[in-house]
C-alpha cells in the first residue's frame, strides 16, 4: 500500500479509535490526533538560558511630591514650567474639555481648580521674591496680584457655580 495522506488518514489501522470524528464529508471517518514531539522541547530545556543584561543602577530621578503627577494633570505638552528667582512656577492649567457632568467623586473641574490655585500661589510667591530683592519683574509676573483670591473667580460664572455645586455635593457625601 502506498503511503499518502489519503491512505494514512482513512486506511491506517493505528488511527482507529484514536482520533476525532470528522463529519464534514458524506462519510464519517476519523482524523488522527497529532501529538507534538517532545524532543524539541527537551532540547530547548538542555540549552543554557540566555542572560539578560539589565542595568540595575539606572539613573532614575524622582520628583518631589509637589511636582508629581497630581500637578501635571491639566497641562498640555507644550506648556512648560518656568523658574523665577529659584521658584518653580508650573504652567497655567488648561480648562478641561472632558467633563461628563455626572457628579464624579473626582471631577476634572475640581482638579483644574486645585491646579489653578497652585499656579496662582507659585506666581504670587515668585513676584514677592522679586519685590523683596528689588529686582525687575519679568513681563509674565507684572500682572500678578499679591492678594490671595479664590481661583474660582477666574472661571466663567457658569463654571464657578458648577464647581461650587460639585464641592458641596462632595462635602455632603463625606458627612
Which pLDDT tens digit goes with each residue over 21-39?
555 555 555 666 677 678 8
The residues, any chain, with a CB within 8 Å of residue 81's CB and separated by 6 or more, are 88, 89, 90, 91
Q: Residue 98 has what pLDDT? A: 84
Integer-rounded Cα Rg, in Å, for the chain is 35
> Domain ranges in the chain?
1-34, 65-174
Q: What is the pLDDT along the chain (175 residues), one digit of tens a residue?
A: 555 555 555 555 454 445 555 555 555 556 666 776 788 878 878 888 777 665 555 555 555 545 555 444 545 556 677 888 888 888 888 888 888 878 777 888 778 878 888 888 888 898 898 888 888 888 888 888 887 776 667 777 877 887 788 778 878 877 6
**Nearest to 151, CA basis, from 82, 74, 79:** 74
Q: Residue 151 has what pLDDT? A: 65
The whole model's pTM is what? 0.48
Q: Residue 71 has what pLDDT? A: 46
Sequence-separated contacts (24+) of 19-28 with Cβ below 8 Å: none
Distance in angstroms (rounded) separating the CA atoms of residues 87 and 43:
63
Q: Residue 44 has what pLDDT? A: 79
Q: Residue 5 has what pLDDT? A: 53
pLDDT tens, position by position, 104-124: 778 887 788 788 888 888 888
Q: Residue 162 has what pLDDT? A: 79
Amino acid at each position: 500500500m502506498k503511503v499518502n495522506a489519503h491512505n494514512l488518514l482513512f486506511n491506517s489501522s493505528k488511527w482507529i479509535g484514536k482520533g476525532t470524528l470528522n463529519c464534514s464529508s458524506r462519510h464519517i471517518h476519523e482524523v488522527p490526533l497529532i501529538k507534538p514531539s517532545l524532543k524539541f522541547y527537551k532540547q530547548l530545556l538542555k540549552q543554557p538560558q540566555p542572560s539578560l543584561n539589565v542595568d540595575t543602577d539606572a539613573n532614575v530621578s524622582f520628583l518631589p511630591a509637589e511636582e508629581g503627577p497630581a500637578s501635571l494633570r491639566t497641562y498640555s505638552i507644550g506648556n512648560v514650567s518656568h523658574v523665577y528667582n529659584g521658584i518653580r512656577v508650573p504652567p497655567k492649567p488648561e480648562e478641561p474639555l472632558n467633563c461628563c457632568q455626572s457628579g464624579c467623586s473626582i471631577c476634572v473641574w475640581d482638579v483644574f481648580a486645585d491646579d489653578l490655585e497652585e499656579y496662582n500661589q507659585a506666581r504670587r510667591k515668585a513676584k514677592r521674591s522679586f519685590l523683596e530683592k528689588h529686582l525687575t519683574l519679568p513681563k509674565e509676573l507684572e500682572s500678578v496680584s499679591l492678594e490671595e483670591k479664590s481661583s474660582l473667580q477666574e472661571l466663567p460664572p457658569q463654571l464657578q457655580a458648577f464647581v461650587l455645586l460639585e464641592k458641596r455635593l462632595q462635602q455632603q457625601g463625606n458627612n
